[in-house]
Structure 1
């Protein structure tokens, strides 16, 4: 069954962390649906770095799809910069009706092995950064007829996350903020939801931290396809949910996921569903 492709013509999405990985894939997928994109992140064309991908490169690829894109350098730990970038985005496009908190710091380690400065980084980027972006956009989104605020973070049902507790706490904090906003913005037409993969996604962080092997991984397209299924819904009715990518795609009629796998065969049960034990994949 063909997936639903939302018509996002005239919409503008503000996405954090679009230089590579899931964030970039989201930007390109939404652009394919006709959405303008605000491409944000810390890596720019001017940086002398070995990291692949920049906010400008993503913006150029977005424009090649026939829509408009604005590339803005953004450090989520800088409150003033967050507010300035949000203001510039709204001024440039008139309105921003899709906000996706995707950027995250990652550190997978036991509590004893995570020093205070790394814990602070997780908190500042993941929880505080999500709060700053949501805080800066909340009033604007509430004034629109329809709008979305989504976060790349897990359901708030968790085990005790041995070996991952600081990171797990910071990602769950993103979910708490997003799902609380569903209540705070109830009746305004803003759909606030989280999305999360059931298997590891092939990103630079996945490879750097050794989350399983390629046999366990899927491409970022599975996440962007799932997010498009959210955006095809009515935000006034679809809010306060924590979605898994497979769950969304199965509801859309997908029964075969091999196209997303990096290697042949099914991925092992969740290597990147890092702290949730509530989801059971359907046979």
Structure 2
């Protein structure tokens, strides 16, 4: 017997859904009955270096019990983001939630090439801003939810990820600001900050020499993100640490009972260097 489906008849956009936390979030939403627009650049016809495509994720959502829609989109292009939102509305007729998960990082700090710096912000910060703006009227019709996915890199310097960290702290500011702006529309906006090592393909590629056996699965992060989407709209403006949320709410059991250092401590942030 299939478990209860609390997201039945709800439409969720998940960016960066071809792999990693985005893919895991889309599948978990599918298990709970959601219609999921799986957004990323990689498709079956146009694959990238890392594994995974939006088509594969959409099929996995269908197999899980939801309705998956593959929506190829280059999030660095504003017109493509607008086209993506229009595609979702034309197909599903509404939008209940938006998960701004897509992100890129390039090695380099003060010496990072300007074009790569600008691309980092285009995808990690500007795309969530534009998606929020474009989805606003549709989310307002359905008391919508937005979750922005951040990183421990927002809180400290992890060389060579300066631009990535800058883009993520900007995303956190976008979260609290848009939560205040959209409160009158009854749209909840929250941030899920990944501050423990998660075994997504991108994180593992960035840290090839780390002991990946100690990292938690992407499904753990997906559980936390979907939990946040499940809260009432009065739950808004939160900048949630993944680890602290697990401990406080008793969710994400794989990390909830890990009584290690507080994720906001300098020691813990240093240990996470390069893992987020």
Q: What TM-score range do you get, normalising by the shorter chain?
A: 0.7 to 0.9
Contact 1:198–1:244 (8 Å) recurs in 2: yes
Q: 1:156 to 1:200 in 2, by over 3 A?
A: closer
Contact 1:142–1:189 (8 Å) recurs in 2: yes
Q: 1:225 to 1:6 in 2, by over 3 A?
A: farther
- The equivalent residue for 1:169 is 166
Q: Take 1:275 and 1:199, find their aligned partners in 2: how far apart are those partners?
A: 8
- The equivalent residue for 1:279 is none
Given candidates 188, 210, 214, the residue that maps to 1:191 is: 188
- The equivalent residue for 1:96 is 95
Structure 1 unmatched ranges of 5 or more: 277-283
**CA positional deviation for 1:106:** 1.1
1:69 has 2:68 as partner: yes
Q: Take 1:182 and 1:155, find their aligned partners in 2: how far apart are those partners?
A: 21
- The equivalent residue for 1:139 is 137
Q: 1:6 to 1:234 in 2, by over 3 A?
A: farther
Q: Take 1:191 and 1:54, find their aligned partners in 2: how far apart are those partners?
A: 29
Greater RCO (CA < 8 Å, at least 6 residues apart) = 1
Matches within 5 A, 1:190-269: 190-210=187-207, 212-235=210-233, 237-254=234-251, 257=254, 269=268
SS of the residue corresponding to residue 187 of structure 1 reads helix
Q: 1:227 to 1:244 in 2, by over 3 A?
A: same
Q: Take 2:97 and 2:180, find their aligned partners in 1: how far apart are those partners?
A: 18
Contact 1:199–1:272 (8 Å) recurs in 2: yes
Q: Take 1:131 and 1:194, find their aligned partners in 2: how far apart are those partners?
A: 13
Deviates more, 1:31-40 or 1:197-206: 197-206
1:33 has 2:32 as partner: yes
Q: Take 1:136 and 1:152, find their aligned partners in 2: how far apart are those partners?
A: 18
**CA positional deviation for 1:84:** 1.0
SS of the residue corresponding to residue 150 of structure 1 reads strand
TM-score (norm 2): 0.86
- The equivalent residue for 1:117 is 115
Structure 2 unmatched ranges of 5 or more: none
- CA-to-aligned-CA distance 1:150-188 (integer Å, 9 cap, x gap): 110148973455543211111112222222110111132
1:128 has 2:126 as partner: yes
Contact 2:43–2:53 (8 Å) recurs in 1: yes
The structure 1 segments of at least 4 consecutive aligned residues displaced by more than 3 Å after TM superposition are 48-51, 154-157, 159-163, 258-261, 265-276
1:45 has 2:44 as partner: yes
Q: 1:258 to 1:137 in 2, by over 3 A?
A: closer
**CA positional deviation for 1:44:** 0.6
Q: 1:202 to 1:130 in 2, by over 3 A?
A: same
Aligned length in residues:
266
Q: Take 1:166 and 1:273, find their aligned partners in 2: how far apart are those partners?
A: 14
Q: 1:273 to 1:148 in 2, by over 3 A?
A: farther
Q: Take 1:213 and 1:238, find their aligned partners in 2: how far apart are those partners?
A: 36
Q: Take 2:236 and 2:273, find their aligned partners in 1: how far apart are those partners?
A: 22
Contact 1:12–1:36 (8 Å) recurs in 2: yes
**CA positional deviation for 1:65:** 2.0
- CA-to-aligned-CA distance 1:1-41 (integer Å, 9 cap, x gap): xxxx8711110110111111000000001111111100111
